[in-house]
Chains A and B, each alone.
Chain A
């Protein structure tokens, strides 16, 4: 049964009123009991983020609703703002209330026309006296969705991530404490406040199933179901009807093999298996499809989308793409060593996590499917 994707509630903002009556500490405790985690990809506990922002000193604080959903294959945040704008706004207002913020910024990608219109309409309708609410448009570049790049854009600057620390909760927008929270994360908040943490647990998340599924689309998936059920029940199986060869939970996550189909859909299970739930932009590769081609596409994407600010990231993304290009065109060599050396060198360097994002799918692809890569490198032809 869907919890979040239900008809839009009335616009009485009853959850906000209840949150006022409960007080910030009780609301944050409810989020902690619900184990609500960030849905932008990092999975950071929302309650912890709110506690830090609440404790931060500052006469002016901000909440940024991060709709910078730039990951290809993810469409949930756009859909939420377009179809459930009041739920998102109410979640943001509760966040502001609990963290002591008076300013709320909806950060939406400039080509999300339906979401932008819905957000502006909802802002005009919402009973949010005491809060200053506005929409700021993000460029379409991938890195613009990174939380500190979002702060730069809102301040009218180039979409480049900031060096951290300080983190946004300490010194964010205009140097003031700022809670940057993903759209989906905030959309869950009113329900948890209204109905209590048990309503939410064990939790659910929105997943975007791409065109590799028989039934692509945005689905609400309860945590704990197997990846096999996710693919079969929610996605209708693979598009071509063949068995799953690999699963990619998000473009910036590591590939999982078909043997991982029995894993439960949880942050922990996917992390223990060497991958990451990310933003839930799922893609599958089926038997007969080429992993080398897919890995090259992903590498080319990160090469094109790295912002250019940090040399190790440029070096890594350029190198990964060049290595896969060589493999794809049948140039044998020690490509595994190249990938391992460059990703080890780059790890932890740079201002944002794009370095790790580019490495995860590349390394997992060559480790899980060594024969496919070896055959490509030898002959330039796909064994699949």
Chain B
């Protein structure tokens, strides 16, 4: 069931997990537990976003923000945005092909 929380998806597909997405997810989870006191975000794993060559991919929904090449050092900025204390991290956006981004929104729109 969808609620009003923002969904934060970290890709756990082959390439992304090889690049450390599982560890990045755990690190982000810890940071959100500490910083997201208003519980605005729900962190999830996603099977594969198809933007493999640009991983690690991290997606915000329903914001429709698609971050690519995410590294641990980007997390403080990302978390600042997630808790409403900073802007989107624009330098991480616009890397994947438009059709890959579109199918991501199409799939997430189904709410499943």
Contacts and interface: CB of A to CB of B under 8 A. Distances in A.
Interface string B40-73: 0000000111111100000000000000000000
Q: Which 10 A-B pairs have the closest CB atoms?
A: A333-B112, A315-B50, A318-B47, A318-B48, A322-B47, A311-B52, A345-B103, A334-B110, A337-B110, A315-B48
B86 interface: no
Interface in B76-112: 99-100, 103, 106-107, 110-112
Contact of B112 (A308, A312, A323, A345): A323
B58 to A, nearest CB: 15
B5 to A, nearest CB: 17
A319 B47 contact: yes
A301 interface: no
B85 to A, nearest CB: 33
B110 A312 contact: no
Interface residues of A, number: 20
Interface residues of B, number: 18
A335 interface: yes
A338 B50 contact: no
A314 interface: yes
Interface of A is mostly: helix
B51 A341 contact: no
Given A308-B14, A311-B53, A318-B13, A341 B48 contact: no
B112 A338 contact: yes
A319 B112 contact: no
A192 to B, nearest CB: 44
Contacts of A326: 112
A341 B107 contact: yes
